[in-house]
Every structure is written in C-alpha cells, then in structure tokens.
Amino acid sequence: MFPEHRPRRLRVTPAMRRLVSETTVRPRQLILPMFVAESADSPRPISSMPGVVQHTRDSLREAAVEAVEAGVGGLMIFGVPGTHDATGSGAVDEQGILNVALRDLRAELGDDTVLMADTCLDEFTDHGHCGVLDAQGRVDNDATLQRYAEMALAQAEAGAHLLGPSGMMDGQVGVIRRALDDADFADIGIFAYSAKYASAFYGPFREAVDSQLKGDRKTYQQDPGNAREALREIELDVAEGADMVMVKPALAYLDVVRAAAETSPVPVGAYNISGEYAMVEAAAAKGWLDRERTVLEVLTSIRRAGADMILTYWAAEAARWLAD
C-alpha cells in the first residue's frame, strides 16, 4: 500500500514552493499608517506599539521618504493636535497639524506614492467621538457630515490623493464626494472605511492619537457579530461613490474580508490594526514567536482572504524583507 497522490512533491525545495505559491505579498500592496503630533519636538515612542512613534513634521518626512524608497504602496496620515475642542476645529484648519503635514509630504514626494488622509474627527474632538454631539450628548450623524465635507476639502487642498472617511456616519461617502466634485476635486479618490467594527483591538491606537474618548462607539461602529451588515455598508458606500473600500480590523474579520472581496466591484483593503500589531510584538519580545515569520504569515493571511491592499504598521519593514 502506498499513497496514490503525493502533494508533497510540490513542497520539496524552496524553488518548488515559490513556483507554486498561490498567494503573494508585495511591497506595493502595503500601506503605512503614520502619526504626526503638533506638540512633538522629537519622535515620541508609543508604549503600546513598540517601534511606532508620534512623528514631528521633520521626522515624518524622513520616515515617509524611507518607506516610499522601500516600495510601500501608500501612506495613511493621522494628525495628533495639541488642543482639542467639541467640534474638532483643528481638522478643518489649514494650519492644523494634519493638513500641514499633508502639504509637507506632497511637496516632498509629489506623486511618487499615494498620500492618504484620515478623514475623521475623533483625533481632534475633546470628547473623542468621530462626530459632533447633539444636546443629549449623542453623535449627530447629519451635523457631522457637514464637518466631514469641510475636512475633506481641507485635505484635498493640502495634497491628499485619497481621503479615508473612517467615522461610520451614514451618508458620509456621498456627502464627501459631492463636496469634492463641487470644488473641482473630481480626481481625489475616497478610500472608505466601509466595514469598521466596534473592536477591542483599538486600544493602542487610542494612545497613538491621544484619544479623549470616554465610553464607546457602539452606536455607529458595527457589532462584531454582524457580517451581512458589512456587505450592506460596502454596497452603500460604493453606490455613494467610494473608489476603494476597507474592512477594519483585519485578523478577527478575515471572513468579512473574503466576503467583501467576492462581492465588491472596487478594490478592497484591510487594516491590520494596532491591537493586532501589539499582540505579535509582545509575543515576539518574549521570544514566544519568530517575529519576521509571524509578521509575514499575518500579512499573507490577509492577502489570502482577498484583500487587495493592507494597512499595517509593519509596511516599511516588511517591504524591505520582501524586496530581499
């Protein structure tokens, strides 16, 4: 008796495994999220995200150039203002840290990369929510949309190629699209955070952006148990004019990534978020995991699920590994 089929024949050498590999991760498919802090006079380490920092404007430019030279496909920029207020006014101020940083990077890099901006108010508000609040302290969806339109125009004028509305407000993509088109920014794309879940994995990110949040965002971010709802959100965003859509987080939602990839008519991204990053870094620091192998396996799993691109804090480092 012997096996009639021997799949192991296709695993016998590295060259053979490379030849028949079904899923690849290339540097161009990786997007690096970056933080720039208004009050920083030197890069500030983020304790819960080893290796990630809040940049100064100068260090942001330097790190962005290095990432682009490594081959990453794009940069997603988040601003950390020195002050916060109820309406997130720093988000629409042309001298606000995010808009200034976008102008810096567009002047430095031109069209050599895809420059993306987080189009959301949570980093800028003194209550930490993604929108403005009504008299009862609830997030006012429609009043927030007007702020998003203003923020979108400020980011487009600052040089962003893609805007990333991440607040999960109903109608946000359509309002931003109309505002851009009416202001002659028809070439600026929208990378919609279409399926964004109320996840426990965001904790380190809140340190990274100095979040002022009290409470939670369950009234506007998705319930982790819902998958069909994610597909409805994606369908609505595409109908409103989204050029790309995103699932966030990635690892705990690979089934949603797969479903999105199978149904979306536009490219699908997935955000390998802060908590996912922190878990691997913590285990690797303890010697419990081989760091490089684990990182590449994580990224491969997200690509295998169907993501066309991955936002990941490992983007620049992984790009260098993959280029070797």
| Pairing of β 44-45 and β 114-119 | unpaired
Catalytic entry in 196, 214, 218, 286: 196
Contact 120, 150 (CB under 8 A): no
Answer for the pair 242, 259: CB distance below 8 angstroms, yes or no: no
Query: Is-cis flag, bond preceding 249, omega within 30?
Result: yes
* Beta strands 44-45 and 53-55, pairing class: antiparallel
Quote the CA–CA distance of 244 and 232 in Å, as a whole number. 15
**Helical packing angle, 141-158 and 97-109, nearest 10°:** 30
> Could you give the C-alpha distances from 98 to 37, 104, 284, in angstroms and in order?
9, 10, 32
- 9 — phi, psi (to 5°)? -60, -30
196 part of the active site: yes
Annotated active-site residue in 214, 218, 248, 286: 248
User: Considering only CA atoms, which of 117, 118, 147 is closest in space to residue 132?
Assistant: 147
Catalytic residues: 196, 248
